[in-house]
Chains A and B, each alone.
Chain A
Amino acid sequence: MRAPRSALVVLFLTLLFLLGPFVILFWASFGTRASLAFPPEGFTVYWFKKVLGMRMFVDSFRVSVLLALSSTVAALALGIPAAYALVRSSFPGKSLLELFFTSPIIVPGLVLGFSLLQFFTAVARCPVASRLFLGHMVILFPYTVRVISASLRNFDPTVEEAAVSLGAPRWLAFFRVVLPNLRAGIMAAFILAFITSFNNVPVSLFLSGPGVTTLPIQMLTYMEYYYDPTIAALSTLLIFFTVVIIQLVEKTLGLSTTLGG
């Protein structure tokens, strides 16, 4: 049975609404005028060259990538054993532990960022970079637990038991049998966590400091003072970055595996 024409029209308009602004932004980022105006005049790649040469954006891009990589790895290091413990055991209060492990998703990012700033100021003074790292690790952790748990549930535990009963020590069975079978899940969790960290504003907003600023925060700061198409060019680049990642995920894992975890 096919969908009625009216539903298809709504779908088309929805897509136009969701994606139209990106197309317009893309167009505007090639305009020659120094202020954002529509329709853009002329054609130039000046803004792209300018943004790629700006220290503040290059530096904060580097901070964002390093932060996303390190906090993702840390969240996986905590999340893989935690997911293994949750999936393979049963005890009273297990659902409570599961709830605790996923609760950083429920708490608004801005509230967590503000609380962490107070915590780091009052109790645990430490450098800006490590504040950001710890804050991001906390917000990424639930995603790793969810995705890894889902892929652990699809893996037959008797295979692991077979390895153990054939004489493999527990840790060897885990690394040689369980982990290779979780490869897709780990990849999915990695990409999801990386993007979540790379795009995060609310936590970074409170925890960034002099010299250590993430890219989205740097963009927000720049926008307070300048109106030229620099941010449009940078945004265009970032949107392409996202499209490439979505394609990669789709090609290697399938979107439903990644999002439905």
Chain B
Amino acid sequence: MLTTRKLLLLSVPALLALTIFFLVPLAMTFLGSLREGGTWTVNRYVAVISQRSFRVALVRSLKLGALVTAVAALVSYPAAYAISKLDKTKRTLLMSLIILPLMTNPVARTYAWFVVMGRHGIINQALLSLGLIGSPVKILYTEGAIAVGLLQLFLPLMLLSLVSALENVPGELEEAARSLGANGMRAFRHVILPLSADGLVIGGTLVFTGSITAYVTPAILGGTRVLMLSTLLYQKAMTLMDWEGATVVAVVMLLLAVGLNVLLRRLRPQEAS
């Protein structure tokens, strides 16, 4: 066998590349957010947090993240359950359809919602021809539009997590619960839910962190007025040229994403990688 030292030499190029082009830039952003005029300070954080636009974006990101995660979980359980009961051919076909939004060019995917939610889009046309509204209503550039776009993007992640979790729940257990008199709801609560909780936690973390850090969906469907943390970061950095403020927003996003992943690891230390 090769010695550990020789083996480790093989990972040195990767280690160097990641250190220089990943760790150092992130460390510079993080440390830079705490430096001003040669001293350490939290002034920038105070300045950014005192801005209403930042607080609105932060609360909106957390709110939409929670909403999308909750809806994704509610919808995915029955859908994933139905998939897990199908035969292998049908299941494979469905899986390849489900991952389409994940694998598609994000601008193309989000643009599709324009045709649905735009002023002359399908929803407005339908409401108009039914006589429910007199003139087109604004659907795009709202929190609702962003939530719908995020749900389409991240629902597949929850579905995939739950399908693989439910596949591992032995069907006999559920049948046993049923034959002992439990109805569908009780069998779900006491047998299926506890045995698939892992998939729910993993899927939930992916959906939530994905939602609060996504860029393209809020950029296209929220526009420049309904900002989330990501679109605020971009606006500060590239439109307002406020790099110091952008740095603070970047660190907040970084801490949220890393914090949630650490939490997930704590909850399930063995498989979280």
Contact = CB atoms under 8 A, between A and B. Distances in A.
Given A1-B174, A3-B82, A38-B125, A216 B100 contact: no
Contacts of B32: 118
Interface string A96-127: 01111111101111111011111100110000
Contacts of B11: 81-82, 85-86, 97, 101
Given A10-B75, A118-B29, A137-B21, A38 B122 contact: yes
Contact of A15 (B4, B97, B105, B108): B97
Interface residues of A, number: 98
A89 B7 contact: yes
B61 to A, nearest CB: 11
A172 B73 CA distance: 50
Given A112-B25, A216-B105, A255-B92, A104 B215 contact: no
B250 interface: yes
B85 interface: yes
Interface of A: 1-4, 6-8, 10-11, 14-15, 17-22, 24-25, 28, 35-39, 77-79, 81-82, 84-86, 88-91, 95, 97-104, 106-112, 114-119, 122-123, 134-135, 137-138, 141, 145, 161, 170, 195, 198-199, 201-202, 205-206, 215-216, 219-220, 223, 231-232, 234-236, 238-239, 242-243, 245-247, 250, 254-255, 259-260
Interface of B: 1-2, 4, 7-11, 13-15, 17-18, 21-22, 24-26, 28-29, 32, 75-76, 78-79, 81-86, 92, 94-101, 103-109, 111-116, 118, 120-122, 125, 151-152, 155-156, 159-160, 164, 171, 174-175, 184, 209, 213, 215-216, 219-220, 230, 233-234, 237-238, 243, 246-247, 250, 253-254, 257-258, 261, 273
